[in-house]
Copies of this chain bind each other. A is one copy, B any other.
Amino acid sequence: MPMLSLEIDSATPLIEQITSAIKKMIDDRGLRAGVGMPSIRKFAQEHGISRFTVVQAYDRLVAMGYLQSRKGSGFYVAPRPRTETSMDSTCQPDSAVDVVWLLRKSLEDRSSKTMPGAWWLPASWMEETGIRKSMRTLALKSGEFLTAYGTPSGYLPLRELLQSKLAGIGIAADTSQIILTAGVTHAMDLVTRHLVRAGDAVLVDDPGYFILFGGLKSFGAKVIGVPWNQDGPDTHAMEALIREHKPKVFFTNTILHNPTGASISQPVAYRVLQLAEKYDLTLVEDDIYGDFHPAAATRLATLDQLNRVIYVSSFSKSVSASLRVGYFACSREMAANLCDVKLLTGLTTSEVSERLMYQLLTDGHYRKHLDKLRAKLTQARQRTIVKLEKLGFTIHCEPEGGMFIWAKPGDSANSAEMAIAAAKTGIMLAPGNMFRPNQEASPWLRFNVAHCDDEATFEFFSG
Protein backbone atom coordinates (compact mmCIF):
# COMPACT_ATOMS: atom_id res chain seq x y z
CA MET A 1 0.00 0.00 0.00
CA PRO A 2 1.32 3.47 -0.84
CA MET A 3 1.99 5.94 1.99
CA LEU A 4 -0.96 8.14 2.89
CA SER A 5 -0.38 11.85 3.14
CA LEU A 6 -1.80 12.60 6.57
CA GLU A 7 -2.07 16.08 8.04
CA ILE A 8 -1.38 15.93 11.76
CA ASP A 9 -2.58 19.52 12.26
CA SER A 10 -5.75 19.24 10.22
CA ALA A 11 -9.20 19.86 11.66
CA THR A 12 -10.15 16.41 10.39
CA PRO A 13 -9.19 13.79 12.97
CA LEU A 14 -6.40 11.41 11.89
CA ILE A 15 -8.67 8.38 12.20
CA GLU A 16 -11.06 9.95 9.76
CA GLN A 17 -8.27 10.89 7.36
CA ILE A 18 -6.98 7.33 7.33
CA THR A 19 -10.44 5.79 7.03
CA SER A 20 -11.50 7.94 4.12
CA ALA A 21 -8.17 7.62 2.28
CA ILE A 22 -8.24 3.81 2.45
CA LYS A 23 -11.95 3.71 1.63
CA LYS A 24 -11.28 5.78 -1.48
CA MET A 25 -8.40 3.53 -2.55
CA ILE A 26 -10.63 0.49 -2.26
CA ASP A 27 -13.53 2.19 -4.05
CA ASP A 28 -11.19 3.23 -6.84
CA ARG A 29 -9.72 -0.27 -6.89
CA GLY A 30 -6.25 0.92 -6.04
CA LEU A 31 -6.42 -1.73 -3.34
CA ARG A 32 -7.84 -5.03 -4.47
CA ALA A 33 -9.96 -7.50 -2.54
CA GLY A 34 -7.79 -9.99 -0.69
CA VAL A 35 -4.74 -7.73 -0.47
CA GLY A 36 -3.16 -7.76 2.97
CA MET A 37 -2.99 -4.44 4.80
CA PRO A 38 0.24 -3.36 6.54
CA SER A 39 0.34 -4.57 10.14
CA ILE A 40 -0.82 -2.06 12.74
CA ARG A 41 2.72 -1.69 14.02
CA LYS A 42 4.18 -1.12 10.57
CA PHE A 43 1.45 1.33 9.50
CA ALA A 44 1.88 3.34 12.73
CA GLN A 45 5.65 3.41 12.35
CA GLU A 46 5.69 4.41 8.68
CA HIS A 47 3.22 7.22 9.19
CA GLY A 48 4.64 8.34 12.52
CA ILE A 49 1.35 7.96 14.38
CA SER A 50 0.15 5.94 17.37
CA ARG A 51 -0.89 2.32 17.04
CA PHE A 52 -4.13 3.21 18.80
CA THR A 53 -5.11 5.50 15.91
CA VAL A 54 -4.44 2.76 13.38
CA VAL A 55 -6.43 0.18 15.38
CA GLN A 56 -9.40 2.53 15.48
CA ALA A 57 -9.21 3.32 11.77
CA TYR A 58 -8.92 -0.37 10.81
CA ASP A 59 -11.83 -1.26 13.10
CA ARG A 60 -13.97 1.39 11.54
CA LEU A 61 -13.14 0.08 8.06
CA VAL A 62 -14.06 -3.43 9.18
CA ALA A 63 -17.40 -2.10 10.45
CA MET A 64 -17.99 -0.41 7.09
CA GLY A 65 -17.28 -3.66 5.27
CA TYR A 66 -14.09 -2.43 3.60
CA LEU A 67 -11.63 -4.60 5.54
CA GLN A 68 -11.76 -8.06 7.03
CA SER A 69 -9.84 -9.11 10.09
CA ARG A 70 -8.43 -12.63 9.93
CA LYS A 71 -7.41 -14.10 13.25
CA GLY A 72 -3.68 -14.30 13.70
CA SER A 73 -2.90 -13.00 10.22
CA GLY A 74 -4.01 -9.37 10.24
CA PHE A 75 -6.27 -7.24 8.07
CA TYR A 76 -7.24 -7.76 4.44
CA VAL A 77 -9.25 -5.83 1.89
CA ALA A 78 -12.77 -7.33 1.92
CA PRO A 79 -14.37 -8.68 -1.24
CA ARG A 80 -16.31 -5.89 -2.91
CA PRO A 81 -20.09 -6.23 -3.06
CA ARG A 82 -19.93 -6.57 -6.82
CA THR A 83 -22.92 -7.40 -8.90
CA GLU A 84 -22.46 -10.97 -9.95
CA THR A 85 -20.50 -10.92 -13.15
CA SER A 86 -20.34 -13.38 -15.94
CA MET A 87 -16.59 -13.84 -15.95
CA ASP A 88 -15.42 -17.30 -16.81
CA SER A 89 -12.94 -19.10 -14.66
CA THR A 90 -10.39 -18.54 -17.41
CA CYS A 91 -10.87 -14.84 -16.97
CA GLN A 92 -8.90 -12.96 -14.39
CA PRO A 93 -11.07 -10.02 -13.53
CA ASP A 94 -8.73 -8.74 -10.88
CA SER A 95 -5.82 -8.12 -13.16
CA ALA A 96 -8.12 -6.79 -15.86
CA VAL A 97 -9.49 -4.37 -13.33
CA ASP A 98 -6.04 -3.30 -12.17
CA VAL A 99 -5.14 -2.23 -15.65
CA VAL A 100 -8.42 -0.51 -16.23
CA TRP A 101 -7.94 1.29 -12.96
CA LEU A 102 -4.60 2.66 -14.18
CA LEU A 103 -6.21 3.53 -17.47
CA ARG A 104 -9.11 5.28 -15.81
CA LYS A 105 -6.79 7.26 -13.56
CA SER A 106 -4.60 8.38 -16.42
CA LEU A 107 -7.63 9.56 -18.42
CA GLU A 108 -9.24 11.28 -15.46
CA ASP A 109 -6.52 13.43 -13.87
CA ARG A 110 -4.50 14.79 -16.70
CA SER A 111 -4.14 18.50 -16.30
CA SER A 112 -1.66 19.06 -13.53
CA LYS A 113 0.70 16.18 -14.06
CA THR A 114 3.99 15.35 -15.68
CA MET A 115 3.15 12.36 -17.83
CA PRO A 116 6.14 10.58 -19.39
CA GLY A 117 3.90 7.50 -19.18
CA ALA A 118 1.17 8.98 -21.41
CA TRP A 119 0.12 7.13 -24.54
CA TRP A 120 -0.83 10.21 -26.56
CA LEU A 121 0.91 13.24 -28.00
CA PRO A 122 0.50 16.62 -26.27
CA ALA A 123 -2.58 18.49 -27.50
CA SER A 124 -0.30 21.21 -28.90
CA TRP A 125 1.25 18.67 -31.29
CA MET A 126 -2.09 17.60 -32.73
CA GLU A 127 -4.31 18.90 -35.52
CA GLU A 128 -6.52 21.26 -33.54
CA THR A 129 -6.56 23.99 -36.18
CA GLY A 130 -7.38 21.45 -38.86
CA ILE A 131 -10.36 20.13 -36.94
CA ARG A 132 -11.72 23.57 -36.25
CA LYS A 133 -11.38 24.41 -39.93
CA SER A 134 -13.14 21.17 -40.92
CA MET A 135 -15.93 21.98 -38.50
CA ARG A 136 -16.46 25.40 -40.03
CA THR A 137 -16.56 23.86 -43.52
CA LEU A 138 -18.95 21.10 -42.49
CA ALA A 139 -21.24 23.57 -40.72
CA LEU A 140 -21.88 25.19 -44.10
CA LYS A 141 -23.20 21.95 -45.55
CA SER A 142 -26.79 20.94 -45.32
CA GLY A 143 -27.77 17.30 -45.47
CA GLU A 144 -29.21 14.19 -43.97
CA PHE A 145 -25.77 13.15 -42.73
CA LEU A 146 -26.07 15.59 -39.81
CA THR A 147 -28.99 13.76 -38.26
CA ALA A 148 -29.46 10.35 -39.89
CA TYR A 149 -27.79 7.03 -39.18
CA GLY A 150 -24.73 6.54 -41.34
CA THR A 151 -24.22 3.56 -43.63
CA PRO A 152 -23.15 0.22 -42.13
CA SER A 153 -19.56 0.32 -43.41
CA GLY A 154 -19.07 4.03 -42.78
CA TYR A 155 -18.67 7.15 -44.92
CA LEU A 156 -17.74 5.99 -48.42
CA PRO A 157 -15.40 8.85 -49.48
CA LEU A 158 -13.29 8.25 -46.37
CA ARG A 159 -13.15 4.55 -47.18
CA GLU A 160 -12.06 5.45 -50.72
CA LEU A 161 -9.34 7.63 -49.26
CA LEU A 162 -8.24 4.74 -47.07
CA GLN A 163 -8.20 2.52 -50.11
CA SER A 164 -5.53 4.80 -51.66
CA LYS A 165 -3.71 5.04 -48.35
CA LEU A 166 -3.56 1.25 -48.14
CA ALA A 167 -2.49 1.01 -51.78
CA GLY A 168 0.34 3.37 -50.86
CA ILE A 169 1.72 0.81 -48.40
CA GLY A 170 1.19 -2.04 -50.83
CA ILE A 171 -2.13 -3.39 -49.55
CA ALA A 172 -4.74 -3.92 -52.25
CA ALA A 173 -8.27 -3.64 -50.90
CA ASP A 174 -11.52 -2.53 -52.45
CA THR A 175 -13.89 -0.40 -50.39
CA SER A 176 -16.06 -3.40 -49.47
CA GLN A 177 -13.05 -4.66 -47.52
CA ILE A 178 -12.65 -1.47 -45.50
CA ILE A 179 -14.97 -0.80 -42.55
CA LEU A 180 -14.86 2.27 -40.32
CA THR A 181 -14.89 1.89 -36.54
CA ALA A 182 -14.70 4.15 -33.49
CA GLY A 183 -10.96 3.47 -33.16
CA VAL A 184 -8.54 0.56 -33.03
CA THR A 185 -9.83 -0.76 -29.71
CA HIS A 186 -13.35 -0.93 -31.13
CA ALA A 187 -12.03 -2.74 -34.23
CA MET A 188 -10.16 -5.29 -32.13
CA ASP A 189 -13.22 -5.79 -29.95
CA LEU A 190 -15.31 -6.60 -33.03
CA VAL A 191 -12.73 -9.20 -34.03
CA THR A 192 -12.83 -10.62 -30.51
CA ARG A 193 -16.62 -10.80 -30.60
CA HIS A 194 -16.52 -12.58 -33.92
CA LEU A 195 -13.61 -14.99 -33.56
CA VAL A 196 -13.06 -15.59 -29.86
CA ARG A 197 -15.21 -17.20 -27.23
CA ALA A 198 -14.85 -17.53 -23.48
CA GLY A 199 -12.11 -20.01 -22.63
CA ASP A 200 -10.27 -19.65 -25.97
CA ALA A 201 -6.56 -18.97 -25.94
CA VAL A 202 -5.50 -15.80 -27.77
CA LEU A 203 -1.92 -14.78 -28.60
CA VAL A 204 -0.80 -11.23 -27.88
CA ASP A 205 2.51 -9.37 -27.76
CA ASP A 206 4.45 -9.55 -24.48
CA PRO A 207 4.94 -6.72 -23.69
CA GLY A 208 1.95 -5.29 -25.55
CA TYR A 209 -1.22 -3.18 -25.61
CA PHE A 210 -2.71 -3.58 -22.15
CA ILE A 211 -6.22 -2.40 -23.00
CA LEU A 212 -6.50 -5.25 -25.47
CA PHE A 213 -5.48 -7.69 -22.72
CA GLY A 214 -8.16 -6.27 -20.44
CA GLY A 215 -10.79 -6.47 -23.17
CA LEU A 216 -9.89 -10.08 -23.98
CA LYS A 217 -9.91 -11.08 -20.32
CA SER A 218 -13.23 -9.39 -19.62
CA PHE A 219 -14.49 -11.57 -22.48
CA GLY A 220 -13.21 -14.69 -20.76
CA ALA A 221 -10.30 -15.37 -23.13
CA LYS A 222 -6.99 -16.88 -22.02
CA VAL A 223 -4.38 -14.27 -22.91
CA ILE A 224 -1.03 -15.79 -23.92
CA GLY A 225 1.96 -13.50 -24.43
CA VAL A 226 4.42 -14.08 -27.26
CA PRO A 227 7.78 -12.53 -26.27
CA TRP A 228 8.58 -9.52 -28.42
CA ASN A 229 12.18 -9.11 -29.55
CA GLN A 230 13.86 -6.19 -31.25
CA ASP A 231 12.68 -7.47 -34.63
CA GLY A 232 9.17 -8.63 -33.83
CA PRO A 233 7.54 -11.64 -32.15
CA ASP A 234 9.83 -14.46 -31.05
CA THR A 235 8.69 -17.03 -33.60
CA HIS A 236 10.23 -20.01 -31.79
CA ALA A 237 8.29 -19.18 -28.67
CA MET A 238 5.27 -18.45 -30.85
CA GLU A 239 5.26 -21.92 -32.37
CA ALA A 240 5.65 -23.58 -28.99
CA LEU A 241 2.78 -21.53 -27.57
CA ILE A 242 0.57 -22.36 -30.55
CA ARG A 243 1.21 -26.07 -30.04
CA GLU A 244 0.48 -25.82 -26.36
CA HIS A 245 -2.56 -23.53 -26.35
CA LYS A 246 -4.10 -23.93 -29.82
CA PRO A 247 -5.09 -20.28 -30.26
CA LYS A 248 -7.08 -19.14 -33.30
CA VAL A 249 -6.02 -15.49 -33.26
CA PHE A 250 -2.80 -13.51 -32.73
CA PHE A 251 -3.09 -9.77 -32.10
CA THR A 252 0.20 -8.05 -32.83
CA ASN A 253 1.37 -4.45 -33.15
CA THR A 254 4.01 -4.70 -35.84
CA ILE A 255 5.36 -1.19 -36.47
CA LEU A 256 6.84 1.09 -33.80
CA HIS A 257 5.42 -1.40 -31.38
CA ASN A 258 3.81 -0.28 -28.14
CA PRO A 259 5.64 -0.26 -25.72
CA THR A 260 9.10 -1.11 -27.13
CA GLY A 261 9.18 1.12 -30.22
CA ALA A 262 10.67 -1.74 -32.26
CA SER A 263 9.34 -2.82 -35.68
CA ILE A 264 8.99 -6.25 -37.24
CA SER A 265 11.68 -7.32 -39.72
CA GLN A 266 10.96 -8.94 -43.08
CA PRO A 267 12.18 -12.44 -42.16
CA VAL A 268 10.24 -12.41 -38.90
CA ALA A 269 7.09 -11.18 -40.68
CA TYR A 270 7.46 -13.98 -43.19
CA ARG A 271 7.94 -16.56 -40.44
CA VAL A 272 4.89 -15.28 -38.52
CA LEU A 273 2.81 -15.69 -41.67
CA GLN A 274 4.20 -19.18 -42.26
CA LEU A 275 3.19 -20.19 -38.75
CA ALA A 276 -0.24 -18.64 -39.19
CA GLU A 277 -0.64 -20.68 -42.38
CA LYS A 278 0.62 -23.89 -40.77
CA TYR A 279 -1.62 -23.64 -37.72
CA ASP A 280 -4.57 -21.84 -39.33
CA LEU A 281 -4.31 -18.67 -37.29
CA THR A 282 -5.96 -15.32 -38.00
CA LEU A 283 -3.49 -12.44 -37.55
CA VAL A 284 -4.77 -9.09 -36.36
CA GLU A 285 -2.17 -6.48 -37.32
CA ASP A 286 -2.48 -3.31 -35.24
CA ASP A 287 -0.77 -0.55 -37.24
CA ILE A 288 -1.82 2.46 -35.23
CA TYR A 289 1.69 3.99 -35.16
CA GLY A 290 2.59 3.27 -38.80
CA ASP A 291 2.18 6.88 -39.93
CA PHE A 292 5.03 7.86 -37.63
CA HIS A 293 7.47 5.53 -39.39
CA PRO A 294 9.77 7.62 -41.57
CA ALA A 295 10.50 5.05 -44.29
CA ALA A 296 9.22 1.87 -45.88
CA ALA A 297 8.23 -0.56 -43.15
CA THR A 298 7.28 -4.22 -43.34
CA ARG A 299 3.66 -5.11 -42.75
CA LEU A 300 2.06 -8.53 -42.47
CA ALA A 301 -0.90 -7.27 -44.51
CA THR A 302 1.37 -6.22 -47.38
CA LEU A 303 2.91 -9.68 -47.62
CA ASP A 304 -0.33 -11.58 -47.12
CA GLN A 305 -2.73 -9.20 -48.94
CA LEU A 306 -5.51 -9.56 -46.35
CA ASN A 307 -5.83 -13.27 -46.75
CA ARG A 308 -5.45 -14.19 -43.10
CA VAL A 309 -4.47 -10.76 -41.80
CA ILE A 310 -7.02 -8.31 -40.42
CA TYR A 311 -5.36 -4.91 -40.62
CA VAL A 312 -6.49 -2.29 -38.07
CA SER A 313 -5.52 1.35 -37.66
CA SER A 314 -6.88 4.77 -36.76
CA PHE A 315 -6.21 8.49 -36.72
CA SER A 316 -6.26 8.78 -32.92
CA LYS A 317 -2.50 9.17 -32.56
CA SER A 318 -1.79 11.65 -35.31
CA VAL A 319 -4.95 13.71 -35.81
CA SER A 320 -7.51 13.39 -33.02
CA ALA A 321 -8.47 10.78 -30.46
CA SER A 322 -11.60 12.75 -29.69
CA LEU A 323 -13.25 12.15 -33.07
CA ARG A 324 -13.06 8.35 -32.61
CA VAL A 325 -12.32 7.37 -36.19
CA GLY A 326 -10.55 4.11 -36.92
CA TYR A 327 -10.91 1.28 -39.44
CA PHE A 328 -10.05 -2.24 -40.37
CA ALA A 329 -9.37 -3.95 -43.68
CA CYS A 330 -9.60 -7.67 -44.34
CA SER A 331 -11.06 -10.23 -46.74
CA ARG A 332 -14.49 -9.46 -48.19
CA GLU A 333 -16.06 -12.35 -46.33
CA MET A 334 -14.55 -11.36 -42.99
CA ALA A 335 -15.42 -7.68 -43.56
CA ALA A 336 -19.10 -8.56 -44.10
CA ASN A 337 -19.14 -10.67 -40.95
CA LEU A 338 -17.38 -8.07 -38.81
CA CYS A 339 -19.63 -5.34 -40.19
CA ASP A 340 -22.62 -7.37 -39.01
CA VAL A 341 -21.11 -7.57 -35.53
CA LYS A 342 -20.55 -3.81 -35.64
CA LEU A 343 -24.22 -3.19 -36.45
CA LEU A 344 -25.59 -5.59 -33.86
CA THR A 345 -23.42 -4.25 -31.06
CA GLY A 346 -23.63 -0.52 -31.71
CA LEU A 347 -25.27 0.25 -35.06
CA THR A 348 -23.38 2.70 -37.25
CA THR A 349 -20.38 4.90 -36.45
CA SER A 350 -20.68 8.69 -36.50
CA GLU A 351 -20.81 10.06 -40.03
CA VAL A 352 -20.33 13.56 -38.65
CA SER A 353 -16.98 12.48 -37.17
CA GLU A 354 -16.08 10.60 -40.33
CA ARG A 355 -16.79 13.63 -42.50
CA LEU A 356 -14.79 15.89 -40.19
CA MET A 357 -11.87 13.48 -40.54
CA TYR A 358 -12.30 13.25 -44.30
CA GLN A 359 -12.38 17.02 -44.61
CA LEU A 360 -9.19 17.32 -42.60
CA LEU A 361 -7.35 14.58 -44.48
CA THR A 362 -8.21 16.03 -47.88
CA ASP A 363 -7.50 19.70 -47.25
CA GLY A 364 -3.86 19.11 -48.03
CA HIS A 365 -2.37 19.70 -44.60
CA TYR A 366 -2.19 16.15 -43.31
CA ARG A 367 1.06 15.21 -45.05
CA LYS A 368 2.76 18.42 -43.86
CA HIS A 369 1.38 17.84 -40.36
CA LEU A 370 2.82 14.32 -40.35
CA ASP A 371 6.21 15.51 -41.60
CA LYS A 372 6.31 18.05 -38.80
CA LEU A 373 5.28 15.46 -36.22
CA ARG A 374 7.96 13.03 -37.38
CA ALA A 375 10.66 15.69 -37.18
CA LYS A 376 9.58 16.77 -33.70
CA LEU A 377 9.46 13.17 -32.54
CA THR A 378 12.95 12.45 -33.86
CA GLN A 379 14.37 15.38 -31.91
CA ALA A 380 12.45 14.45 -28.78
CA ARG A 381 13.60 10.83 -29.05
CA GLN A 382 17.22 11.87 -29.29
CA ARG A 383 16.95 14.26 -26.35
CA THR A 384 15.22 11.62 -24.22
CA ILE A 385 17.71 8.88 -25.03
CA VAL A 386 20.63 11.14 -24.09
CA LYS A 387 19.00 11.97 -20.77
CA LEU A 388 18.11 8.39 -19.96
CA GLU A 389 21.57 7.08 -20.84
CA LYS A 390 23.13 9.77 -18.69
CA LEU A 391 21.07 8.35 -15.82
CA GLY A 392 22.41 4.85 -16.50
CA PHE A 393 19.28 3.50 -18.21
CA THR A 394 19.51 0.66 -20.71
CA ILE A 395 17.57 1.38 -23.92
CA HIS A 396 15.83 -1.65 -25.42
CA CYS A 397 16.39 -0.42 -28.96
CA GLU A 398 16.62 2.90 -30.72
CA PRO A 399 13.23 3.11 -32.48
CA GLU A 400 13.06 4.21 -36.12
CA GLY A 401 10.23 6.59 -35.28
CA GLY A 402 7.27 7.20 -33.01
CA MET A 403 6.81 8.34 -29.46
CA PHE A 404 7.96 5.43 -27.32
CA ILE A 405 11.28 4.49 -25.71
CA TRP A 406 11.49 1.29 -23.68
CA ALA A 407 14.19 1.59 -21.04
CA LYS A 408 15.26 0.24 -17.67
CA PRO A 409 17.33 1.80 -14.91
CA GLY A 410 20.81 0.49 -14.09
CA ASP A 411 19.86 -1.07 -10.78
CA SER A 412 17.39 -3.89 -11.30
CA ALA A 413 14.40 -2.15 -9.76
CA ASN A 414 10.73 -3.08 -9.87
CA SER A 415 9.08 -0.61 -12.23
CA ALA A 416 5.66 -0.89 -10.55
CA GLU A 417 7.16 0.30 -7.26
CA MET A 418 8.90 3.15 -9.06
CA ALA A 419 5.59 4.16 -10.63
CA ILE A 420 3.91 4.28 -7.22
CA ALA A 421 6.72 6.40 -5.79
CA ALA A 422 6.67 8.73 -8.81
CA ALA A 423 2.88 9.15 -8.62
CA LYS A 424 3.33 10.72 -5.19
CA THR A 425 5.42 13.48 -6.73
CA GLY A 426 2.86 14.08 -9.50
CA ILE A 427 4.71 12.10 -12.19
CA MET A 428 2.80 9.47 -14.12
CA LEU A 429 5.08 6.68 -15.32
CA ALA A 430 4.17 3.65 -17.42
CA PRO A 431 5.73 0.68 -15.62
CA GLY A 432 6.58 -2.47 -17.57
CA ASN A 433 4.25 -4.75 -15.65
CA MET A 434 1.25 -2.86 -17.14
CA PHE A 435 2.21 -4.15 -20.58
CA ARG A 436 2.54 -7.78 -19.60
CA PRO A 437 -0.37 -10.16 -20.14
CA ASN A 438 -0.63 -10.98 -16.46
CA GLN A 439 1.08 -7.91 -15.01
CA GLU A 440 4.22 -9.91 -14.27
CA ALA A 441 6.95 -7.81 -12.65
CA SER A 442 9.24 -5.95 -15.02
CA PRO A 443 12.23 -3.62 -14.67
CA TRP A 444 11.28 -1.76 -17.88
CA LEU A 445 9.49 1.56 -18.24
CA ARG A 446 7.89 3.10 -21.31
CA PHE A 447 8.74 6.74 -21.94
CA ASN A 448 6.67 8.93 -24.24
CA VAL A 449 9.35 11.22 -25.65
CA ALA A 450 6.82 13.95 -26.42
CA HIS A 451 6.16 14.26 -22.68
CA CYS A 452 9.81 14.15 -21.55
CA ASP A 453 10.74 17.82 -21.60
CA ASP A 454 9.79 18.34 -17.97
CA GLU A 455 13.00 17.95 -15.93
CA ALA A 456 10.98 16.72 -12.93
CA THR A 457 10.92 13.26 -14.52
CA PHE A 458 14.70 12.98 -14.68
CA GLU A 459 15.19 14.57 -11.29
CA PHE A 460 12.94 11.84 -9.90
CA PHE A 461 15.25 9.14 -11.26
CA SER A 462 18.49 10.88 -10.30
CA GLY A 463 17.25 11.72 -6.80
In whole angstroms, how far apart are the Cα atoms of A321 and B282 in the complex? 34
Of A100, A120, A133, A150, the most chain B CB neighbours within 10 A belong to: A100
Chain B residue nearest to A125 in the complex (CB): B147
In the docked arrangement, what's the CA distance between A182 and B249, Å?
A: 27
- A64 within 8 Å of B (CB atoms): no
Q: Is the CB of A194 within 8 A of B107?
A: no
Interface window among A80-88, A253-261, A418-426, A448-456 = A80-88
Which B residues are CB-close (under 8 A) to A324?
Answer: 182, 348-350, 353
Q: Contact mask A298-340 → B, CB, 8 Å, 1/0?
A: 0000000000000000001001111110000001011001011
A245-297 interface (Cβ within 8 A of B): 248, 282
CB-based contact B194/A86 at 8 Å: yes
Could you tell me if A344 and B132 are in contact, using CB atoms closer than 8 angstroms? no
- Kindly provide the distance from the CB of A294 to the nearest chain B CB, expressed in whole angstroms: 22
Counting every copy of the chain, the complex holds: 2
> Which residues from chain B contact A107 at a C-beta distance below 8 Å?
149-152, 343, 348
Contacting B at CB under 8 A, from A350-378, are 350-353, 356
Q: Is A211 an interface residue (CB 8 A)?
A: yes
A39 to B104, CA, bound (A): 61
CB distance from A437 to the nearest CB of B (A): 14
Known contacts A148-B123, A337-B82, A340-B104; A352 and B356 CB within 8 A of each other: yes
- Could you tell me if B146 and A340 are in contact, using CB atoms closer than 8 angstroms? no
Contact B218 A182 (CB under 8 A): no
B322 and A196 contacting across the interface, CB-CB below 8 Å: no
Q: Nearest CB to that of A109 among chain B residues?
A: B151
Chain B residue at minimum C-beta to C-beta distance from A189:
B345
CA distance A4 to B5 in the complex (A): 77
A401 contacts B by Cβ under 8 Å: no
Please report A residues at the B interface, Cβ cutoff 8 Å: 80-86, 88, 96-97, 100, 103-104, 107-108, 110, 120, 123, 126-128, 131-133, 135-136, 138-152, 182-183, 185-186, 189, 193-198, 200, 211, 214-215, 218-220, 248, 282, 316, 319-324, 331, 333-334, 337, 339-341, 343-353, 356
20 A-B residue contacts at CB 8 Å?
A: A83-B331, A83-B337, A86-B197, A104-B340, A110-B148, A120-B148, A127-B147, A135-B135, A135-B136, A135-B138, A135-B139, A145-B322, A147-B320, A150-B322, A182-B349, A193-B218, A215-B345, A218-B341, A350-B353, A352-B353
